[in-house]
Amino acid sequence: MTEATVIQKSVNQIFRSVPYLLKFPTKHFRVDYDNSADVLYISFERPQIATNSKMLDNGVLLRYNNKNLVGMTVLEASKRK
């Protein structure tokens, strides 16, 4: 696979995610992925200061500052579709 093909594939994947990104609860967010742990971190505030959290049945941890959602942690991120 050529470098141009790899780049085009990445661009296409990002384009497909745009409608979902526009639905985030904030206009500014940070996304970090830990490959070795297979965990995706999404922060809606910076700095992200969480006062409590809630683990969902699907392996997603919601992080709150009081009642405001400030971030999400997605476990086993590479297995999500």
Number of domains composing the chain: 1
17-63: pLDDT as tens digits = 899 889 887 888 999 999 999 999 999 887 778 999 999 999 999 99
Tell me the C-alpha distance between 73 and 68, whole Å. Answer: 15
User: What are the angstrom distances between the C-alpha of 56 and each of 59, 64, 70, 75?
Assistant: 6, 13, 16, 11
Q: What is the pLDDT of residue 21?
A: 87
Beta pairing, strands 52-55 & 60-65 = antiparallel
Does 36 reside within a domain? Answer: yes
Q: What is the pLDDT of residue 55?
A: 97
Q: What is the pLDDT of residue 37?
A: 97
Does 18 reside within a domain? Answer: no
Domain of residue 32 covers 25-81
Does 61 reside within a domain? Answer: yes
Query: Given the structure tokens 């505030």, which residue do they identify?
Result: 45
3-state secondary structure of 11: helix
Average pLDDT over residues 3-13: 90
- pLDDT bucket at 76, cuts 50 / 70 / 90: very high
